[in-house]
Structure 1
């Protein structure tokens, strides 16, 4: 009994110590702090284990080293653009850029997201077309191919892509593949044996130190990036897997949105890949070489900023960008997202837009790939309907697109869902585009998708069963960790 008392005393002391550390060092928001305090005090030993797996705060760690920005001239360009916007001497290409200079300034100030011009942007909404073009670009590569996906599967598409990359490696093209350990669970390093034998390199983001235990389980790299010869960049929602070609009977047709970029914005995509790769590859880091940043071919008229966010950062940059877009809307907001679990700030911004007379349209899937997430989404959808938003349920398969279009003028496309996981826990990347032509194209795509959807009205929502209401209530309680 004496030994048990000592052990209990030690456990209580450790719990108090962890609570003190969490409150005074981690500097979380109050709701998150209270949640972890309850876990630590009501589940003493298990609570500590859960905290190690899910509760670590990465914002105090310097995960990504930016000292090489001077070599690229990024710091000088950032300072110049910020100063010019402050002094109202910045040369905006059009009225759209000028109208949204506060959004541009915010991304410059808090995310080091340089505004690039003269970009050519192709929009893909079909996986077959996107990967056909990607394979074509891979075939034409001369110097290097950098490829990063959250999910990389060992299936028909994965094997086809790997075969194409291995062929280019055998031709002397430098191939680097980075994938997420959790997103690509089940993928073994042996899958890339031929690529490695041909000189290709493969790294894993936040790999498990032990086979069944990963202390960074809750923080995943959700980015999807491809850079070819420093001249072509891809960013968007498609991962590598047969379901993204519509070949999975469970989901049917897979509706997503992806961008193919040519122009100066590829510098930003390349920089993001190099930062992520160098974090994962401790011994084979990528130097900032001229061939990684060749003189961009200026083919288009699109202006954009490549914005990233993650748990290592003090700011929720992509969420802040969404809120700023929403708050500036005067006529329309069109949102497509597979998960709609906004925090209070984003939800309030959307409600205020609705109540101010802005036409807010939201499109979500008709089926869950994660049940709790789906029921939590429906609970928030109810609040949007009550505020006057129009909600559409996509019935032609599964919609995975992450897009926002405001007033037919600006848009955002990338990897960030509208949920707290994307805003706070995942490493994400979005393109913010200041191009009315791209915005109109995405707006037209949204309305084409309406023809394949059914509208959910407030009357329909109010008639849902008690069982659904119960599922929504439980899932909403879990929403901060979904």
Structure 2
């Protein structure tokens, strides 16, 4: 018997593997999830013995999600209800909103209000910050001026030269008596033990979001905190695509130019950023910090052109894909133009259908993506969607000046989205994301002008030339597209 086992060990292991594959395949099918994602996991299990099981263990199971986030969702729902019920539009404001913005935008407001009671505030002043060098110039100044508290939540915090300068500032302010709280994603970030000890010694409270073992080698584990939020004294807020990493700042001697977009906000919308941060803080710290008046904006900004903003937050702790649904809703109501800038274009079926339908109905749909991605798999998966888009009348532009990391959406003459969510499966359904939805003609025009400037550094993709790109490349694209729900 022992001899038989020794001589057939690989056959036995393969047999066990495929018994498990059959079991998990049935389990996956019974979950009734997205068919593309379902088939992707079954494909991986079937063609990659042992490796497929590991991939499914790390990426495919929802039991961890349910266990981790069920309690968080219930607590957050109660806290948000108490706070957001205090800030709601009266009938006169709702009528003004519909008449001023139109039915399409009013539908997005109602969607997010019904999904997560997302607050819409009219009293905001915004600065659109182009690239990291502009963002960090403003951020350092605001951090220096902080008097009460500093709250930061980032997907990426590196202690390179730029990161060290921010850490120095945080330690300095904490030593001055300012309450400093920092959340960093354990997979996306890399902070040395030395700097973590320095933060703690200075009084900076800091926690990793969902710590994992071997974070350096598990860069795509599920349920990551992809948000980039800063709130200072409850009065100033930052949100957008720029992380704490010097490659985002072109004033450093980087190998590649980095094109990104961020927002600096004062006004009522800072309260929505603050509430989002506090809920994350309570989750990572196991504290019970209330969303209290002292942490929220106290004065309205003195601006002649206030901007209406609604924050759309989404993540695996929510019943609804809030950001994806808001984008879907706005694309479907677009009449003139849809301008998208995204580093990763792997849309789900709903968004892809909305875009191609809009283009075929006469809406000018233009998309900027990187000429060269920072991930070969993401590059080929993105490229797999180009031909279908071009055939539908969508214009695709590949940014060649460097790497475009901005996540922006401009629709018609009123609606703009700037935030953290990419146009891909992971941002829509797995990661914690937050986007600022801005209902303002001036902001819309400014972002439309920026889109035109970025086009000067792009190459438009020609359909005929793209169709002749070669079988080998097409095979790489098709294979990578199978992995798109996992990337």
TM-score scaled to structure 2, two decimals? 0.89
Verify the 8 A CA contact 1:118 1:299 in the aligned structure 2.
no
Verify the 8 A CA contact 1:412 1:432 in the aligned structure 2.
yes
* Whole-angstrom CA distance in 2 between matches of 1:427 and 1:352: 28
Deviations 1:227-265 (A, max 9, x none): 000111100000011100126777522110101111111
Aligned to 1:201: 205
Q: Which runs of 5+ in 2 are unaligned?
A: 6-10
Corresponding residue to 2:415 among 390, 400, 410: 410
Q: Which runs of 5+ in 1 are unaligned?
A: none
Deviations 1:251-283 (A, max 9, x none): 52211010111111111100111111211112x
Distance verdict in 2 for CA 1:42–1:383, change over 3 Å: closer
Q: How does 1:240-279 map to 2 (within 5 A)?
A: 240-246=244-250, 251-279=255-283
Deviations 1:329-378 (A, max 9, x none): 11111111111111111111111111111111111112110011112212
Deviations 1:172-206 (A, max 9, x none): 0000111111111x423431322221211110001
Return the offset for 1:476.
1.7
* Whole-angstrom CA distance in 2 between matches of 1:8 and 1:388: 48
Name the Cα RMSD after superposition: 2.9
Aligned to 2:300: 297
- Where does structure 1 differ by over 4 angstroms across 4 or more consecutive aligned residues? 1-24, 37-48, 209-216, 247-251
1:164 aligns to 2:169 (yes or no): yes
Verify the 8 A CA contact 2:188 2:219 in the aligned structure 1.
no
1:66 aligns to 2:66 (yes or no): no
* Whole-angstrom CA distance in 2 between matches of 1:262 and 1:73: 19
Q: How does 1:283-432 map to 2 (within 5 A)?
A: 284-300=287-303, 301-432=306-437
* Whole-angstrom CA distance in 2 between matches of 1:39 and 1:474: 11
Deviations 1:70-109 (A, max 9, x none): 78531354xx54x959xx9544286126551111100111
Distance verdict in 2 for CA 1:426–1:246, change over 3 Å: same
Distance verdict in 2 for CA 1:94–1:260, change over 3 Å: farther
Deviations 1:271-319 (A, max 9, x none): 111111211112x453333321242424341111111111233322111
Decide which moves more: 52-61 or 225-234.
Answer: 52-61
Return the offset for 1:470.
2.7
Return the offset for 1:30.
3.2
Verify the 8 A CA contact 2:340 2:367 in the aligned structure 1.
yes
Corresponding residue to 1:175 among 172, 180, 194: 180
